[in-house]
Chain A
């Protein structure tokens, strides 16, 4: 039941709101930056949305604050750091590239490399092996017999 409520919450949050015209910055370049940043920030009271999409109050507040900081001259990095210092790396939808997440980012390419290597070795080895062991005498006789039977 609680999970259902959470689902409802998401859908209420999704009820066609998110970025309000009144929030938008006048300067289109700054507004574009704000939108791009918002798309990478997690809505902390939603289940899996960015603050750009969510209509939660907190998302709205952070959107407004974010735009204030951009107007005040913060760079994208500074805005991100501002929020991470308050909410932790959890607030970023794109995990940062740092020691705690090296395993995350290196994982897939490493898996690809290792799997590719394993396959390459396997292919090379199977080609080095003979196709099939030669028949023993008894087997050759049986084969001749069977072929005769087949007629």
Chain B
């Protein structure tokens, strides 16, 4: 028993190393915070829009994307062409929510970059963003036909992500 006690520190350290080794894997990101809203119903919202109002009802019965963006957000500009592609080539319904943006600036952004969105909501005070649990822009949510959130992308979409993750997901959800 006494001998075992002496071995305890070494054993504890061995376990610690295992954890550290696991944490050093390339796919571990200590900064990534998983959303608690996955598989939950989409938060209720009703926003004034650039054109018409945007509420969750608009998304009913279809698989859609909700994309938070802003004119002042540089990574949003980088992501934008991918959204255009999704909208124009694959006819994916994308609904945009402009976060903490002046309506004129949002409209100028759209005029400049193109409009991949069926509708755009204006979340000027950021409360809807908080309801969705976002921490910055751009962030994208995949909503299924029943209005539940199925996936959350907390960072600008990349072409690889589109190909390997988003598009397969959209196909799968379309079938159900």
Chain A positions within 8 Å of B, measured between CB atoms, are 44-45, 57-58, 61-62, 64-65, 84-88, 90, 118
A87, B126: Cβ atoms under 8 Å?
no
**Which of A44, A57, A58, A84 lies in contact with B33, CB distance below 8 A?**
A44
B36, A84: Cβ atoms under 8 Å?
yes
CA–CA, A57 and B130, complex, Å: 12
- Chain A residues near B5 (CB-CB < 8 A): 118
Interface pairs A-B: 8 shortest CB-CB:
A86-B133, A88-B36, A61-B126, A44-B135, A87-B133, A90-B33, A45-B135, A65-B130
**Which of B36, B43, B100, B127 lies in contact with A87, CB distance below 8 A?**
B36
CA–CA, A14 and B152, complex, Å: 30
- Chain A residues near B127 (CB-CB < 8 A): 61, 65
CA–CA, A65 and B100, complex, Å: 14
Chain B positions within 8 Å of A, measured between CB atoms, are 5, 33-37, 43, 100, 125-127, 129-133, 135-136
Q: What is the minimal beta-carbon distance from B45 to any residue of chain A, in angstroms?
A: 13
CA–CA, A118 and B37, complex, Å: 46
Known: A61-B126, A65-B130, A85-B36. 17 other contacts (CB 8 A): A44-B33, A45-B135, A45-B136, A57-B126, A58-B126, A58-B136, A61-B100, A61-B125, A62-B130, A86-B36, A86-B37, A86-B43, A86-B130, A86-B133, A88-B33, A88-B34, A88-B36
